[in-house]
Amino acid sequence: MTPARPDPPAARVLNTTDIDEQSALLEGWNQSYSQLAPGRFQGRLEDAELGGAYLFREVTSQALLQSGDLGPDVVALGVPRFIGGAALFCGRHCDGRQLHLFSGHDGFEFHTPAGLDIAGIELSRARLLAPCAEPERERLALRLARPGLRAAPEGLRNRLGLTLGDAFGKIAEGAMTGAETRAMLDEIAGLIRESLLSADADETDAGERLSGAEAIARLRTIVEAARPEDPTDIDSLCHAIGISRRNLQYVFARELGMRPLAYVRALRLNAARRRIREGLSVTEAATATGFWHFGRFAQDYRTLFGELPRDTLRRSAA
């Protein structure tokens, strides 16, 4: 079922300086964000309602690990406007020349660079499939089954991005009639169907997940499941994953442009931050995530998030 949303009278613009607040702005996506690169975060979401569909444009300033899981009755598709560096979407390299399908079974993962600008739409699956005759309906349903990148002809991708921008502009002007709204949504839905049914989309679906992305995913799973007393040094993690230290360093440099140690530290610091926001004291949050040197923890925390742990605690309690 499509999540209930407030109906903005026009395109809203929401600015944040907090990754958790940013992740919650897309309602019904069940998102979690972890910040991977140091520096104060800045984010923006523009959104609007269009005849029962939901338009969005998200801008983020820092490298993030985004994960989410939408309901089975919606389709959410993004068109990147700018990707500022190495990025992985559901285990594949993305460079702004693919469509991003966020909906489908198993949820999505998006390793974003510092600097991301992506526009998109969420609409009901039934509305997208309804005009299709067999076998196109079956083919389109297959394309929508799982999140991932979908290649599309450049012309179609560009038209879809421009049409989404036009829709935002017309909504902001407040001059769209009911008939114009329906026509605009029909045009966007038609471009999505045409893009996903193109031959290029077949090529993307046929590819295999990168082995490097699998190594990153396994490392993240181990770190997130680790108890405070479990070792999370790189040698122990390499042994658990079954990869050499040199190869792991190469994978991270190639896929994410960062060192594995920095990635592990960022995951643990994000876990501590979530616990602080949930009400634990700074000391409790640090020890629960395996940090025993509290001075170094506070220093690393400030480097990553641009504030001390006690500042996060104070804001969360306010």
Query: What's the pLDDT tens digit per position in 95-123?
Result: 999 999 999 988 999 999 999 999 999 99
Residue 147: cis peptide before it, omega within 30 degrees of 0: no
The predicted structure's pLDDT at residue 207: 39
Residue 14, pLDDT above cutoff 60:
yes
The predicted structure's pLDDT at residue 1: 32
Residue 267, pLDDT above cutoff 50:
yes
Residue 72, pLDDT above cutoff 90:
no
Q: What is the pLDDT of residues 229-241, one digit of tens each?
A: 888 888 999 999 9
The predicted structure's pLDDT at residue 8: 42
The predicted structure's pLDDT at residue 201: 55
The predicted structure's pLDDT at residue 305: 96
What is the DSSP secondary-structure string of 280-297? --HHHHHHHTT---HHHH
The predicted structure's pLDDT at residue 10: 64
List the one residue out of 159, 158, 80, 75 whose CA is nearest residue 121. 75
Residue 208, pLDDT above cutoff 50:
no
For the entire predicted model, the pTM comes to 0.89
Residue 134, pLDDT above cutoff 90:
no
Amino acid letter, residue 14: L
Rounded Cα distance, 110 and 54, in Å: 20
Beta bridge partners of 27: none
The predicted structure's pLDDT at residue 199: 59
Residue 5, pLDDT above cutoff 60:
no
Can you give the C-alpha Rg of the chain in angstroms?
21
pLDDT-above-70 percentage for the chain: 93
As a whole number, mean pLDDT of residues 209-222 equals 83
The predicted structure's pLDDT at residue 24: 94
Q: How many CA atoms lie within 13 A of 7 on its CB side?
A: 5
Average pLDDT, the chain: 90
Domains of the chain, each with CATH number or no CATH: 12-206 (2.60.120.10), 211-317 (1.10.10.60)
